[in-house]
């Protein structure tokens, strides 16, 4: 179903009838799967999204920057906080360079990084 929905949004976007990016929709579906307690499929989806976006976008593209954040969130649901930290540190540096420290994406990644630190009981770093 999710693939059909993404394809429909892509067609509508191409026809100029929709302003929602299929990539944003794809990210929301991944987050929805995570919120339902599914931790394996979202990680696979996020990794695939990252690989596809690396082939398409420049390093400062918000759609590319969001992909490591989704990977990290998926890793944290599996209690892999150290791996998530690595993904998030790279994503945070990229978003801050590309969009500045007050950008919504930068702040979102920074909040996720704080969660990764908390999961490792690095409370001073998470503050």
What is the tens place of the pLDDT at every residue in 96-114? 888 889 988 889 889 999 9
Residue range of the domain that includes 48? 22-126
Give 56-79 pLDDT, tens digit per residue.
Answer: 888 778 778 778 888 888 899 889
> Is 3 among the domain residues?
no
> Is 118 among the domain residues?
yes
Q: The whole model's pTM is what?
A: 0.71
> Is 2 among the domain residues?
no
CATH number for the domain harbouring residue 59: 1.25.40.10
Q: How many domains does the chain have?
A: 1
Q: How far is residue 52's CA from residue 92's CA, in Å, rounded to a whole number?
A: 20
- Whether 34 and 49 have beta carbons less than 8 Å apart is answered as no
104 phi, psi to nearest 5 deg: -60, -40
> Is 14 among the domain residues?
no
Which of 10-14, 42-46, 52-56, 91-95 is least confident?
A: 10-14
> Is 32 among the domain residues?
yes
In whole angstroms, how far apart are CA 46 and each of 15, 17, 35, 39, 51?
Answer: 27, 27, 14, 11, 9
> Is 10 among the domain residues?
no
């Amino acid at each position: 179903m999710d693939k059909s929905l993404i394809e429909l949004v892509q067609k509508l976007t191409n026809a100029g009838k929709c302003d929602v990016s299929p990539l944003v929709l794809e990210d929301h579906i991944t987050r929805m799967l995570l919120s339902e307690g599914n931790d394996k499929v979202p990680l696979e989806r996020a990794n695939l999204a990252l690989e596809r976006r690396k082939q398409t976008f420049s390093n400062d593209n918000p759609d590319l920057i969001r992909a490591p954040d989704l990977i990290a969130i998926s890793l944290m649901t599996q209690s892999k906080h150290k791996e998530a930290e690595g993904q998030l540190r790279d994503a945070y540096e990229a978003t801050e360079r590309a969009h500045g420290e007050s950008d919504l994406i930068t702040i979102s990644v920074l909040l996720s990084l704080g969660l990764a630190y908390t999961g490792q009981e690095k409370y001073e770093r998470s503050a």
